[in-house]
Amino acid sequence: MSKEILNEIKNLNPSARQNLSYDKLAEIVKTLSFKEKIELSSIIGYPVFARMCMGELRHDFVLIQDGSAVIIENDKGEILLQCRADRDKWGLPGGCQELGETFQETIIREIKEETNLNVSQDDLQLIDIVSGLSRLNTYPNGDTVINNTALFYVKNYTYELKCDHESKKLQFFPLDKLPSNQNDLDLIKIYKDKKIYL
């Protein structure tokens, strides 16, 4: 029975999934095993799922999110930025960690989802773990979060760039000609400061 419920939720569009009522979600979650709760969290997306479980306080609570971001560099030394669909800002490819994922698994999944590029874990290089108030972020729906971010670097990748539903545009930029409306100034500064060692 719980497999049927999970499949029903999976077949909903993202907006319908995120708008399940707290009471409906509580009713569903109480029937699931531990592994099924992790699966439901992955279907909805962990941060959204966590907020849905908070009921009426979900937008008034500052959530700590763990995730990964990546500097993808091309042969010209340019870095890839993504103009997000939910706001008119450029940022690095990346996203939130799902339950049970390593930071490496998170960034490999996010790179594929957001850019269509394939990356090997062996080619990922950890630049830094970035945390604190420089990672404070607010979203159009009213959510406020602090993102603890594993920042990676990669130069080797395959396939062609292709936007997903989260992106308006993907583009490589020279470091001295980055767009002014950026979302990840702190991460890019760390990359610039450590670039000599990569």
Per-residue tens of pLDDT for the chain, all 198 residues: 688 889 999 999 988 888 888 999 999 999 999 999 999 999 998 888 988 888 787 778 888 999 999 999 999 999 999 998 777 889 999 999 999 899 999 999 999 999 999 999 999 999 999 999 999 988 877 888 899 999 999 999 998 899 877 778 999 999 999 998 998 999 999 999 988 776
Tell me, what DSSP letter sits at residue 193? H
Continuous H helices in the chain: 2-11, 14-18, 22-29, 34-44, 46-52, 103-115, 185-194
Query: Distance (Å, rounded) from C-alpha 73 to C-alpha 7?
Result: 38
- CATH fold, domain 62-197, is Nucleoside Triphosphate Pyrophosphohydrolase (3.90.79)
Question: Of 154, 162, 137, nearest to 79 (Cα)?
Answer: 154
Query: Distance (Å, rounded) from C-alpha 56 to C-alpha 95?
Result: 25
Bridge partner residues of 65 (DSSP): 147
What pLDDT shows up at residue 1? 63
- pTM, 2 dp: 0.85
For the chain, the domains span 2-57, 62-197
Query: Distance (Å, rounded) from C-alpha 42 to C-alpha 160?
Result: 26
